[in-house]
A and B are shown apart, each in its own frame.
Chain A
């Protein structure tokens, strides 16, 4: 299937066109509000794609990934505040730290199956949030408990990871997402990917074929946590202010899982599709009815999830792929490809 997609000239041209549109978007869209929504769609697609390494391929359902977003955000921010270290360096440090925490948690919990793993990750995620809410400072680092941290403002500079306009943030997160999607692709087509899928589906059979299932799951966890934390630093630099509930809360953990399940976990494009659908829902409900009914977006997500699971238990990526193959590949493979591209652009 993958090879088929790669070799198909229509798909290749469409991908190039889509990338061109994505990279040119900030030149056309000037509204910062709209740009912010685009950035958040991509950021959530990023979080879900990094979650996917464990939640999609290792056959478990982590529901505490906000913890790693938080570790990334807090690490880079306290390093910036205390030592004036560039968030870019803090980002890597945060990633490594998240990875270590993830491995320590993973070694114990990844042996659990089904709901037990999900419950364990909720508990640990919430534990970490409560910890951050109750600690004012760790050594020289000020965390400020529940009131959170704001990032000291600086001038427009790449080293300081702060920009006057939204466009640089947009490009940064877009490139981060593309890198993660490429990594996902390479992982799926490697020994690790095959072993993870096998261990997730039939652990006993996988072990009988010489696979140390727990080890591969922990590797996936390390990769996932590292990349998730990088997104955490990005989030901090974008918002310039965050507090435990906003960045470590269950809301975020659940939203990532919702996006994955609705879009299609264990696929490359599922997280992107899920984020494209759910993020605008979440933004619109927050803008228009957020005051009256906070958290309503999660209720709506729940309803969407029920409907999607009823008809497409593997996520919306399945019907989208079928429609795509039927209406675009089949039609335009035979015809003039340039004609195909313009009309699919409208369809997208």
Chain B
């Protein structure tokens, strides 16, 4: 049985169909990428999985349990934690405080939460900033904090929403090994990303969404060679001239 099964999920906003009949499977231990041009419906699909938006139809099964239409906190308690594209730190609190909020998902004791949080911060190489107020962090640090907080809940499945968006190329190359390192600890990852190079590098399997529809799936190499995908990203003309 797959860890995450998305079956025929559709999300409509009155007239607009943002996600149209999309199905996906994610196996335990994988890093799965979801890509697509701007406005393709990636983040909407993501919000449906994380519970921020209820899907209009279809089912989402995580670890054998139906999670479509559950609340975000229930989904997190089941073992699916997300990060936000626009980072949302608890701005007036320190890095450690932020991470401890996540760690309280595992324990009710202050000291245990602190220990677990520090462990995670060390793992992500952020522990030297633990007493810094999070609003004074740089963007890459905030993105890392977002990861730290999510990891502190000890998820089975981590949903990363454009965790590299807004980073400079050098910072992206720093982030890639971090994500791989998280995966190596046994956390399955679904990553929505804009930056092709990054996702090609990380993912074992890629789903491509365009105008709300899944247009391709498979190995990264196969997907980039797919005619539909090239069309979606670069337009019809490009496909025509290639031939």
**A209: contacting residue among B71, B110, B149, CB under 8 A:** B149
Q: Which of B75-107 contact A (CB under 8 A)?
A: 76-77, 81-82, 84, 88-93, 97, 100-102, 104-105
A208: interface (CB < 8 Å): yes
B72 touches A208 (CB 8 A): yes
- With the chains together, A195 CA to B97 CA distance in Å? 10
Chain B residue numbers with a CB within 8 Å of A206 are 101
Point out which of A195, A197, A201, A209 has the most chain B C-beta atoms below 10 A from its C-beta: A209
Our pick among B52, B76, B101 for the contact of A198 (Cβ within 8 Å) is B101
Q: Tell me the chain A residues, 186-227 only, with Cβ under 8 Å from chain B.
A: 189-191, 194-195, 197-198, 201-202, 204-213
Q: In the assembly, what is the distance between CA of A198 and CA of B73, in Å?
A: 13
- Give B100-122 interface residues, CB cut-off 8 Å to A: 100-102, 104-105, 108, 110, 113
Which of under 10, 10 to 19, 20 to 34, or 35 or more describes the interface residues of B?
Answer: 20 to 34
The answer to whether A194 touches B97 (Cβ under 8 A) is: yes
Q: Does B50 contact A (CB under 8 A)?
A: yes
- CB-CB under 8 A from A189, the residues of chain B are 110
- Are A201 and B91 in contact, with the CB atoms below 8 A? yes
Q: Contact between A191 and B104 (Cβ–Cβ < 8 Å)? A: yes
Q: Is the CB of A210 within 8 A of B90?
A: no
Q: Are A209 and B153 in contact (CB under 8 A)?
A: yes
Contact (Cβ within 8 A) A205 B104: no
What's the nearest-Cβ distance from chain B to residue A106, in Å?
18
B187 to chain A: which residues have CB within 8 Å?
none
Known contacts A191-B113, A194-B97, A194-B100, A209 near B81 by CB under 8 Å: yes
Asked whether, in the complex, the Cβ of B97 is within 8 Å of the Cβ of A207, the reply is no
Q: Which of A194, A202, A212 contacts B88 (CB 8 A)?
A: A202
Give the residues in chain B near A195, CB-CB below 8 Å.
101, 104
B160 within 8 A of A: no
Whole-angstrom distance from the CB of A334 to the nearest CB of chain B? 23
- Expressed in whole angstroms, the minimum distance between the Cβ of A55 and any Cβ of chain B is 16
Q: Is B105 in contact with A209, judged by CB distance below 8 angstroms?
A: yes
Residues of A whose CB lies within 8 Å of any CB of B are 189-191, 194-195, 197-198, 201-202, 204-213
Known: A202-B90, A208-B52, A209-B73. 11 other contacts (CB 8 A): A194-B104, A201-B93, A202-B88, A204-B52, A204-B88, A205-B90, A206-B101, A208-B81, A209-B149, A209-B153, A212-B71
